[in-house]
Amino acid sequence: MRIGELAARLGVNPKTIRFYEARGLIPDPVRLPSGYRDYGPEDESRLAFIKTAQRLGLSLDEIGEILAFKERGERPCSYVLSVLDAQLSDIDRRIGELVRLRAELVTLKDRADQLLSGDACYCGIVEHAGRMSQMITR
């Protein structure tokens, strides 16, 4: 399949695929007589892997390292594991923080709703934002 189709299947820009090729993340593909890149299913799954890993928070360099291990037939396990461990604890931290921020925003919004329906209000939301800041950064 040509680059446009591959890109469409994965929901990415064809330029992105060429960009990954230039970065060495995907191998130089076979070319059709026309010079067009010709991709197969392995390319699709490789690209899917890249996109997944990216969603997991890995940088293109990290992904490249993992793929390179695979290329060389080496055991990337411990490296991958350490990356995974780091990602995991980072995610835990972020979830905790988001949950806290969420609670604060909800409170803030509730106040705002009340104030909207109430009369004679300037902006209690403002004072609350101050408290929010303290709570969040506590």
The site partner of 52 among DNA, its own copies, none (C-beta below 5 to 8 Å per kind) is: its own copies
Q: At its nearest, how many Å lie between DNA and the CB of residue 109?
A: 22
Task: Indicate whether 32 belongs to the interface with its own copies (CB under 8 A).
Answer: no
Tokens of 103: 């609670």
Task: Indicate whether 52 belongs to the interface with DNA (CB under 7 A).
Answer: no
The site partner of 60 among DNA, its own copies, none (C-beta below 5 to 8 Å per kind) is: DNA
Report the 10 Å Cβ neighbour count for 62.
18
Q: At its nearest, how many Å lie between its own copies and the CB of residue 75?
A: 5
Which residue, 31 or 93, has its beta carbon nearer to its own copies? 93
β-strand partners of 30: 38
Q: Contact residues for its own copies (CB under 8 A)?
A: 45-46, 48-49, 52-53, 55-57, 66-67, 69-70, 73-78, 80-81, 84-85, 87-88, 91-92, 94-95, 97-99, 101-102, 104-106, 108-109, 111-113, 115-116, 121-126, 129-130, 132-134, 136-137
